[in-house]
């Protein structure tokens, strides 16, 4: 790193999407690719970005330059839906959503009443995010307040921007995992006061999903949102058809699944709903009207047999969308693997997902979904300096394929199709390198 620890200078090939767009076709016009570029950060923020030739005179002799001539540097990946307590139960066999929760998820989450255990998994979880190039995530904790403390404490070690919250769940779950409408309100309020806006931490009001909260608890969640309007809401919506039918039985007075949340004041510009595979037309309209966001979780939707998310419809309806790995129903922390599955989900619906649109959703589009596009998502001056250094040739097969790449878009598509954590060479958070892949000195 540089001798001036507050300043970081990175030289290499840079690729980002400069601005938010309203149609997928517009993304190509916003692609910024600099073959030999320079990024300078100070106190965690981007202070200069452009070509090496133009920028090198901004550097004095005391600043060491991290040079990545062969790699590709992109903004940090943004995960808009993930469960940190489910890290250890990835790849649990054979169930769809409701059975999967009862069989695997709830028993796993009971362990997080132990703060030491929560600390251990939180540390592993944060390291795994960094190893996969994810620099910001919207995270489910468990019903236990100490699980939130554990996660934010782990993230603070790296100055990482995380959004997280305590699960609110007062019915249809084991007794050891339920709270009450009142205790959920009080615990969440205390956690908001403790963590929201402290450093880069942000809080999310987190009812697990409508079936596990009574109307009284959802009312208290809405009260929290009214009292703390800059706090997030994070929950699940229309993932599975049996789940949707259950919601209609439990809330017959509401017009739809989304209408349950809307009725209790839980929609809005900082509200993120995971999955949304089976939304009705009126629900799409409500998502648009309230400026709510969707987390598209392809590996999870395929693994649990939930269905195919219509990504194209987010453009048609002008609804914000980001990518979610949804660990542990999702099967990989890596957004490269998530995009590989996202492409296939669209193919099965007769649609194409381009490499540049994929990059958009993983970076600036995800930032917009989290209402953070003023802070994250590209290399614009003044933004927080979270970025990833990608090795496009991490395997022999990838190296062979990249030799055939016609242009940067083709190279990027091959990476998104074939890539995994081996392609993450380094991860920078707030201008500081927090992860670097160990180099293998052996030759074939």
pLDDT at 205 over 60: yes
* 225 and 280 fall within a common domain: yes
Cβ atoms of 218 and 257 within 8 Å: the answer is no
Q: Among 278, 309, 333, give the residue marking a domain's end.
A: 333
Q: Which helix (H) or strand (E) holds 26?
A: none
Cα 440 from Cα 424, distance rounded (Å): 14
Q: Among 333, 365, 398, give the residue marking a domain's end.
A: 333
Q: Among 279, 312, 333, give the residue marking a domain's end.
A: 333
* 216 and 70 fall within a common domain: no
* 95 and 201 fall within a common domain: yes
Give the number of domains in the chain: 2
CATH code at 42?
A: 2.30.40.10
What does the pLDDT read at residue 375? 98
Residue 356 covered by a domain: no
Q: Which helix (H) or strand (E) holds 180?
A: none
* 55 and 110 fall within a common domain: no
Residue 28 domain boundaries: 7-76+377-436
Q: Which helix (H) or strand (E) holds 31?
A: strand 31-42
Phi (first) and psi of residue 140, to 5 degrees: -80, 135
Q: Which two tokens stand for residue 404?
A: 């055939």
CATH code at 146?
A: 3.20.20.140
Q: Could you read off the pLDDT of 316-326 as tens digits, one per residue?
A: 999 999 999 99
What does the pLDDT read at residue 367? 98
Mean of pLDDT values over 210-232 = 98
Mean of pLDDT values over 66-72 = 97
What does the pLDDT read at residue 6? 86
Residue 442 covered by a domain: no
* 55 and 132 fall within a common domain: no
* 32 and 174 fall within a common domain: no
The torsion angle over the Cα atoms of residues 116, 117, 123 and 127, rounded to 10 degrees, is 170
Q: Kindly report which listed range (10-19, 211-220, 432-441) carries the lowest average pLDDT score.
A: 432-441
Cα 79 from Cα 278, distance rounded (Å): 21
pLDDT at 4 over 90: no
Mean of pLDDT values over 169-194 = 97
* 297 and 396 fall within a common domain: no
Angle at 438 between CA 153 and CA 360, to 5 degrees: 65
Cα 244 from Cα 259, distance rounded (Å): 12
Mean of pLDDT values over 158-170 = 98
* 55 and 83 fall within a common domain: no
Reported as a pLDDT band with limits 50, 70 and 90, residue 412 is very high
Q: Report how far apart, in Å, the C-alpha atoms of 326 and of each of 156, 300, 338 are.
A: 22, 6, 10
Return the closest-CA partner of residue 225 out of 270, 282, 181.
270
pLDDT at 442 over 70: no
Phi (first) and psi of residue 104, to 5 degrees: -115, -50
Place of tokens 């300096």: 385
Q: How many angstroms separate the first and last alpha carbons of the chain?
A: 30
* 138 and 33 fall within a common domain: no
Mean pLDDT of the chain: 96
Residue 352 covered by a domain: no
Residue 1 covered by a domain: no
422 CB-contact burial (10 Å; exposed 0-12 / middle 13-18 / buried 19+): middle
What does the pLDDT read at residue 444? 30
Residue 338 covered by a domain: no
Cα 75 from Cα 88, distance rounded (Å): 28
Q: Which DSSP category does 384 fall into?
A: B
Residue 210 covered by a domain: yes
Cβ atoms of 135 and 160 within 8 Å: the answer is yes
What does the pLDDT read at residue 2? 36
- Cβ count near 290 (within 10 Å): 17
Q: Could you read off the pLDDT of 128-143 as tens digits, one per residue?
A: 999 999 999 999 999 9
Q: Each residue of 179-205: b (16+ CB within 10 Å) or e?
A: bbbebbbebbbebbeebbeeebbbbbb
DSSP-assigned beta bridge partners for residue 389? 73, 426
Mean of pLDDT values over 305-322 = 98
Cβ atoms of 354 and 363 within 8 Å: the answer is no
Q: Could you read off the pLDDT of 252-299 as tens digits, one per residue?
A: 999 999 999 999 999 999 999 999 999 999 999 999 999 999 999 999
* 95 and 243 fall within a common domain: yes
Cα 76 from Cα 82, distance rounded (Å): 16
Residue 363 covered by a domain: no
Return the closest-CA partner of residue 35 out of 20, 50, 48, 24.
50
* 405 and 381 fall within a common domain: yes
Return the closest-CA partner of residue 190 out of 215, 165, 213.
165
Residue 174 covered by a domain: yes
DSSP-assigned beta bridge partners for residue 9? 40, 65
What does the pLDDT read at residue 64? 93
Cβ atoms of 141 and 164 within 8 Å: the answer is yes
Q: Report how far apart, in Å, the C-alpha atoms of 329 and of each of 139, 252, 332 are.
A: 14, 29, 9
What does the pLDDT read at residue 126? 98
- Cβ count near 106 (within 10 Å): 16
Mean of pLDDT values over 418-428 = 98
* 59 and 123 fall within a common domain: no
Cα 340 from Cα 330, distance rounded (Å): 13
Q: Which DSSP category does 211 fall into?
A: G
Q: What is the DSSP string of 414-436?
A: HHHHH--GGGEEEEEETTEEEEE
């Amino acid at each position: 790193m540089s001798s001036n620890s507050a300043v970081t200078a990175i030289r290499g090939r840079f690729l980002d999407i400069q601005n938010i767009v309203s149609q997928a076709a517009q993304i190509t016009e916003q692609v910024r690719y600099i073959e030999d570029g320079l990024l300078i950060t100070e106190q965690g923020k981007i202070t200069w970005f452009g070509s090496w030739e133009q920028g090198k005179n901004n550097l004095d002799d005391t600043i060491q330059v991290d040079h990545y001539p062969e790699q590709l540097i992109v903004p940090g990946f943004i995960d808009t839906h993930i469960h940190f307590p489910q890290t250890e139960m990835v790849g649990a066999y054979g169930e769809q959503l409701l059975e999967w929760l009862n069989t695997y998820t709830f028993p796993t989450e009971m362990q997080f009443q132990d703060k030491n255990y929560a600390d251990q998994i939180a540390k592993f979880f944060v390291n795994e995010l960094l190893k996969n190039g994810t620099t910001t995530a919207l995270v489910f904790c468990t019903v236990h307040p100490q699980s939130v403390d554990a996660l934010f404490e782990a993230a603070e070690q790296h100055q990482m921007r995380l959004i997280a919250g305590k699960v609110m769940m007062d019915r249809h779950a084991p007794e050891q995992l339920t709270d009450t409408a009142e205790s959920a309100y009080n615990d969440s309020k205390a956690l908001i006061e403790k963590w929201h806006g402290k450093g880069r931490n942000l809080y999310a009001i987190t009812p697990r999903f409508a079936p596990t909260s009574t109307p009284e608890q959802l009312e208290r969640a809405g009260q929290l949102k009214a009292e703390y309007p800059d706090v997030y809401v994070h929950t699940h919506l229309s993932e599975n058809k049996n789940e949707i039918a259950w919601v209609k039985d439990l809330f017959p007075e509401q017009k739809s699944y989304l209408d349950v949340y809307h009725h209790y004041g839980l929609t809005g510009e900082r509200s993120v709903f995971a999955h949304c595979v089976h939304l009705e037309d009126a629900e799409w309209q409500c998502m648009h009207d309230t400026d709510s966001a969707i987390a598209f979780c392809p590996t999870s939707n395929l693994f649990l047999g939930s269905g195919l998310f219509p990504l194209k419809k987010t453009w048609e309806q002008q609804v914000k969308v980001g990518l979610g790995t949804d660990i542990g129903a999702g099967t990989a922390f890596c957004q490269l693997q998530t995009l590989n599955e996202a492409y296939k989900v669209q193919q099965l619906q007769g649609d194409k997902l381009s490499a540049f649109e994929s990059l958009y959703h993983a970076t600036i589009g995800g930032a917009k979904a989290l209402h953070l596009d003023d802070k994250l998502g590209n290399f614009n001056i003044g933004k927080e300096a979270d970025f990833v250094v990608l090795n496009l040739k991490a395997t022999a097969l990838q190296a062979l394929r990249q030799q055939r790449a016609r242009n940067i878009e083709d190279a990027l598509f091959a990476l998104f199709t074939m890539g995994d954590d081996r392609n993450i060479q380094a991860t920078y958070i707030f201008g500081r390198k927090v992860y670097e892949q160990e180099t293998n000195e052996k030759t074939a």
